[in-house]
Amino acid sequence: MHKAGQIIIPNETLQLIRAQTDQEAPPGIRALADAARACHGESVRAVLFYGSCLRTGDVHDGLADLYLLVDDYRSAFKGRTLAFFNQLLPPNVFYLEVPFQGHLLRAKYAVLTLDDFNKGVGGWFHSYLWGRFSQQCGLIYSQNEIIAEQVHKALAAAVLTFFTKTLPQLDSGFTARDLWSTGLSLSYRSELRPEDADGAGRLFDRDPEYYQKLTDAILVAGTFDVSVNSDVTPICYQVDITPGDRRLNWIGWRVRFLQGKVLSVLRLLKGLFTFKGGVDYILWKIERHSGVRVEVDPSLKRIPPLAIVVIFWRLFRQGAFR
């Protein structure tokens, strides 16, 4: 067992996460990670790769998702304004294009201090970080082995937090797929990401062996008060949670749903100042996750603050923020 803050991490959980995150990344992703690191110099402690491009393995069609973990916001940015906004409402998100072997690779990368990352996966009320990084990801770069171990423990803490917040939402008897699909669906609903439970379940189905092993490593180790029936297929778990605790957990998720929508809008607005073509990015992001499309006159795009007011009013009227 290892301790990350106050959380006990089973050894097998860390081993699974180390093996999964340390797999070789595609050369194109490494090129994007190197370019992102070059923008922030020696402040970068680690780079994580996650999201749809990781799951599909296709880095040429789509937008790769990277996280840069830095030592300090002031050292990561040349200007104090970006450092201030990154500290006020982390993370800052940036757009990146890199020519690579005859292709133009694209990525969006977020910047977060390693300290904030540790707080986010283990202590933040909202699921923004622990919902994301309980899933599979890749550790593309780490400054040294000590930093790599800190990141591995943080990723394990994200899974444990995810389990803690999800278990009270499950029936008394459940499978690993039930756990992951329920938790991911709840996390999606806490942002501008209205994917349904079936969509979250399909994420589990992309690598059921990994998620099953990870579930067993945590639940069988006795980290939570869960009994395991391994004589059936799929393995079934039993949890005994009081009605009062279930109700408090239910209230917590309802608060996250509201909080998450507000934070998502604020982060999108902040993206105007960090994302090249910020208005177009916001429209693309909302259309991708809500299915609502808004046409914007080019003259309006030249005045981003006014454009955003008009766009968000139109999107609200069309039901983009469910």
Q: Is 29 exposed, middle or buried (0-12, 13-18, 19+ CB in 10 A)?
A: buried
How many CB atoms are located within 10 Å of the residue 146 CB? 10
Question: How confident is the model at residue 71, as a pLDDT?
Answer: 96
Instruction: Report if residue 172 sits inside a domain.
Output: yes
Q: To which H or E segment does residue 26 belong?
A: none
Instruction: Report if residue 169 sits inside a domain.
Output: yes
Instruction: Report if residue 62 sits inside a domain.
Output: yes
Cα separation, 164 vs 182, in Å, equals 12
Same domain for 298 and 169? Answer: no
Phi/psi of residue 305, each to 5°? -60, -45
Task: State both tokens at 263.
Answer: 């934070």
Same domain for 165 and 51? Answer: yes
Domain count, the chain: 2
Same domain for 209 and 99? Answer: yes
Q: Residues, the chain, total?
A: 322
Closest-CA residue to 90 (of 61, 117, 122, 71): 117
- Assess contact for 44 and 70: CB atoms under 8 A: yes
Cα separation, 79 vs 226, in Å, equals 50
Same domain for 52 and 164? Answer: yes
Same domain for 104 and 205? Answer: yes
Cα separation, 297 vs 295, in Å, equals 7
Instruction: Report if residue 160 sits inside a domain.
Output: yes
Which of 239, 274, 294 is the last residue before a domain boundary? 239
Instruction: Report if residue 301 sits inside a domain.
Output: yes
Cα separation, 15 vs 20, in Å, equals 9
Same domain for 158 and 303? Answer: no
Question: How confident is the model at residue 270, as a pLDDT?
Answer: 80
Kindly report, residue by residue over 145-177, the tens digit of the pLDDT. 999 999 999 999 999 999 999 999 999 899 999
Same domain for 62 and 194? Answer: yes
Question: How confident is the model at residue 268, as a pLDDT?
Answer: 75
Same domain for 235 and 268? Answer: no
Question: How confident is the model at residue 197, as a pLDDT?
Answer: 47
Question: How confident is the model at residue 275, as a pLDDT?
Answer: 63
Angle between helices 11-21 and 145-166 in degrees, nearest 10: 120
Question: How confident is the model at residue 186, as a pLDDT?
Answer: 94
Same domain for 139 and 84? Answer: yes
Residue with tokens 């690993």: 176
Q: What CATH code is carried by the domain that includes residue 34?
A: 3.30.460.10
Sign of the CA dihedral running 255, 257, 260, 261: negative
Task: State both tokens at 240.
Answer: 């005994």
Question: How confident is the model at residue 170, as a pLDDT?
Answer: 94
pLDDT-flagged residues of the chain (< 70): 1-7, 193-199, 272-322
3-class DSSP assignment, residue 312: helix
End-to-end CA, the chain = 41
Same domain for 136 and 37? Answer: yes
Instruction: Report if residue 105 sits inside a domain.
Output: yes
Which of 239, 268, 299 is the last residue before a domain boundary? 239
Question: How confident is the model at residue 5, as a pLDDT?
Answer: 46
Instruction: Report if residue 167 sits inside a domain.
Output: yes
The residue segments making up the domain with residue 299 are 260-317
Cα separation, 72 vs 201, in Å, equals 37
Kindly report, residue by residue over 275-308, the tens digit of the pLDDT. 665 566 666 666 665 566 666 666 655 655 566 6
- Assess contact for 265 and 181: CB atoms under 8 A: no
Instruction: Report if residue 251 sits inside a domain.
Output: no
